[in-house]
Amino acid sequence: MSPAQYWHCFVGIQTREWLRFWQQRTRFASALVRPLLWLVVFAAGFRAVLGISIIPPYDTYITYETYIAPGLCGMIILFNSMQGALSMVYDRELGSMRVLLMSPLPRPFLLVTKLLAMGVVSVGQVYVFLVLALLVDVEPPLWGYLAVLPALVLTSLMLGALGLLIATWIKQLENFAGVMNFVIFPMFFMSSALYPLWRMNEASPWLYWICQFNPFTHAVEAIRFSLYLEWNPMAYGITAAITVVLTLLATAGFRPQRTRILGTKPA
Amino acid sequence: MTIEARNLSFRYGDEPVLKEVSFALTPGHFHALLGPNGAGKSTLFGLLTRLLALQQGDVLMAGQSLKRQPSEAMRKIGVVFQQNALDLDLTVRQNLMYHGALHGLSRKLARARGDRELERFGLLDRADDPVRKLNGGHRRRVEIARALLHQPSLLLLDEPTVGLDVASRRALNDHVRTLCEEDGLTVLWATHLIEEVRPDDHVLILHQGQLLANGSGRAICEAEGARDLAETFEALTGAAP
């Protein structure tokens, strides 16, 4: 297959994802309600009890809304990636996956392109969220919106690959409720999305270390730092390395027979 | 194009689902794969389409191994799945273009070929309708049009008439036979409905993972001393068709 054929395939998969997004735009809009509730309601209540000292990348005192906005960007991607990965192998996307896997192009390429396409739609939602966040005075520098893009794409690929890995190999987590309880919430709460890790360290050192080992923490920090035009090589490096490992594991270990893609119950 | 399955065996865990299945398909002919539910038809289709990894045996398409040259082999196959594999929210044309892109076709070429197939199937005027608005028979036609978009030599159809009324079933079956005659397409049509098979078709009877008969319908009937395929099927499988 020629590079042009790879390109047509890549564009085709991206286009289809955007067409679906457009068809289901009300569903995607409603998916923004969750992070907005966190930003407007939860943060308003929480700011009274949690003071934020000056910590990098911020150079002054910030509101709690400003602190959790990057974590909520991560949350949008986290929910979308898990939901998307599950639907790829268990329900809504089954037909599309059958068609996808009939392509003569290599499967790892097809799967990564599909994960990226779903991720790009998530990134679009994050930008809508960031625009709405301006209403509660979350105002990162203008260039931050551009600088954060690679971190958002990387995070979406990392979490998409994780979702695909889980959906393929952990039968007990084939429904969204299971994934929410055992993957999404633990990853979200045991990270730096809602509270700075130094605070966590004061409260419980072992919890602090769990947060440090949580890849979502580093993804959120990569988003936070780049949104405020600061370079955080550790957060970026860890996120990139984990993305590579998870993507390799998810694509190399992908087995349609462990899913419902064949149309039967998983063996 | 010659298609040959050699010693295909497959097991889910400890349960054998296909046992040493070998057959060859004649280029440009209609082949019926008959078997009761649970015979192993879908597993065989899974292997032919690479949705299942080959455990034992190989499939050769024009001499190219599905195991060693999967990409080359997949370019030659068009598939219609048992379950709907169309995106109901997208239009007919968008579905076809997506398939074209997956096979490396440019947008222009995919659109041209898609329109040509739709015209042939009498569905060009529905090209911009969401698939959701189409009836079952038309959806199946779109799936066949899509499977032909990349100009395969082999068309695999896994119980394509499931859920269709009698008239639509017959029309679809006739249509695919026409494709064989006009385009020289090799067809493997899996079904458990004996009325979809004609006496002169090449028939493969699969039962409990084993290929019990492989030859022209007439020859199989003669060999079993049966009056028709239904009787042959019953004699071989012990199940009423």
Q: Give the ipTM.
A: 0.87
* Whole-angstrom distance, CA of residue A155 vs CA of residue A215: 9
Is pLDDT at A192 greater than 80 in this prediction? yes
| B139 Cα distance to chain centroid | 16
Residue A267 located in a structural domain: no
Q: What is the DSSP string of B40-74?
A: SHHHHHHHHTTSS--SEEEEEETTEETTT-HHHHH
Q: From the DSSP assignment, how many helices (H) and strands (E) are in chain B?
A: 8, 10
**Among the listed ranges A18-32, A149-163, B170-184, which one has the minimum average pLDDT value?**
A18-32
Instruction: Name the most confidently modeled range: A90-99, A256-265, B50-59.
Output: B50-59
Residue A266 covered by a domain: no
Q: How far is A87 from chain B (nearest CA, A)?
A: 13
Of the candidates B71, B82, B89, which has its C-beta nearest A104's C-beta?
B71
pLDDT tens digits, residue range B105-115? 999 999 999 99
Residue A119, SS3 per DSSP = helix
Higher pLDDT, A47 or B5: B5
Average pLDDT over residues A233-252: 95
* Confidence band for B200, pLDDT divided at 50, 70 and 90: confident
Query: For residue B124, what are its two tokens?
Result: 């060009």
Average pLDDT, stretch B121-130?
91
Q: B27: number of CA atoms within 13 Å, CB side?
A: 9
CA-wise closest residue to A32 among A63, A71, A72: A72
pLDDT tens-digit map of A201-225: 888 889 999 999 999 999 999 999 9
pLDDT (0 to 100) of residue B206: 92
The stretch B86-105 carries a mean pLDDT of: 93
Tell me the average pLDDT across A21-40: 85
Closest CA to A61 of A69, A50, A53: A53
Identify all chain B residues contacting A16, using CB atoms and an 8 Å cutoff: 87, 90, 94, 98, 101
Chain A CB contacts of B84 under 8 Å are 95
Judging contacts by C-beta atoms under 8 Å, the chain A residues touching residue B104 are 1-2, 4-6, 8-9, 104-105
**At CB < 8 Å, which residues of chain A contact B?**
1-2, 4-6, 8-9, 11-13, 15-16, 19-20, 23-24, 94-96, 98-106, 110, 255-257, 261-264, 267
Cα(A266)–Cα(B13) distance, rounded to whole angstroms? 11
Residue A52 lies in a domain: yes
Chain B contacts of A257, Cβ < 8 Å?
12, 46, 51-53
Query: Is pLDDT at A266 greater than 50 in this prediction?
Result: no
Least-confidence region, from A1-15, A89-103, B89-103: A89-103
pTM (predicted TM-score): 0.89
In a domain, A265, yes or no: no
Is residue A264 included in any domain, yes or no?
A: no
pLDDT given for residue B156 in this prediction: 93
User: What's the average model confidence in pLDDT over B9-25?
Assistant: 91
pLDDT(A187) > 50 = yes
Picking from B13, B94, B99, the nearest residue to A99 by CB comes out as: B99
For the segment A177-195, the average pLDDT, to the nearest whole number, is 88
Q: How far is A244 from chain B (nearest CA, A)?
A: 24
**Position A246, amino acid:** L
Q: Per the CB < 8 Å rule, is A12 touching B100?
A: yes
**Chain B closest-CA separation from residue A264 CA (Å):** 9
pLDDT of residue A26: 83
Q: Is B78 helix (H, G, I), strand (E, B) or coil?
A: strand
Q: Which domains does chain B have, with CATH numbers?
A: 3-76+153-237 (3.40.50.300), 87-151 (no CATH)
Res B219 pLDDT > 70: yes
Residue of A nearest to B76 (CA): A104
Task: Select the residue from A99, A257, A265 to test the B interface by mutation, using most B Cβ atoms within 10 A.
Answer: A99
What values do phi and psi take at B188, rounded to 5? -120, 115
Domain span at residue A13 reads 3-258
In Å, how far is A162's CA from the nearest CA of chain B? 21
Task: For residue B241, name the pLDDT band (cuts at 50, 70, 90).
Answer: low
Chain A residues touching B77 at Cβ < 8 A? 102
Q: What is the pLDDT of residue A138?
A: 87
pLDDT of residue A267: 38
Q: Confirm whether A9 is domain-assigned.
A: yes
pLDDT digits (tens, 9 = 90+) for A37-85: 988 888 887 776 666 667 777 777 778 888 999 999 999 999 999 988 8
Average pLDDT, chain B: 89
Is it the case that residue B63 has pLDDT exceeding 90?
no
Structural domain contains residue A23: yes
Could you give the CA distance from residue A151 to residue B91 in angstroms, rounded to a whole number? Answer: 34
How large is the average pLDDT for residues A174-203? 85
Q: How far is A258 from chain B (nearest CA, A)?
A: 10
Statement: residue B228 has pLDDT above 80: yes
Residue A117 within any structural domain of the chain: yes
To the nearest whole angstrom, how far is the Cα of A236 from the nearest Cα of chain B? 32
Range B178-206 average pLDDT: 89
Nearest CA in chain B to A1: B104
Candidates B49, B104, B146; nearest CB to A1? B104
Q: What angle do CA A163, A164, A167 make, to 5 degrees?
A: 85
Averaged pLDDT for residues B123-152: 91
pLDDT of residue A241: 96
* Total domains in the fold of chain A: 1
Chain B residues with CB-CB distance to A99 below 8 A: 85, 98-99, 102, 146
pLDDT score at A51: 61
Residue B86, pLDDT above cutoff 50: yes
Q: Which of A199, A125, A197, A186 is nearest to A155 (CA)?
A: A125
pLDDT given at position B166 = 85
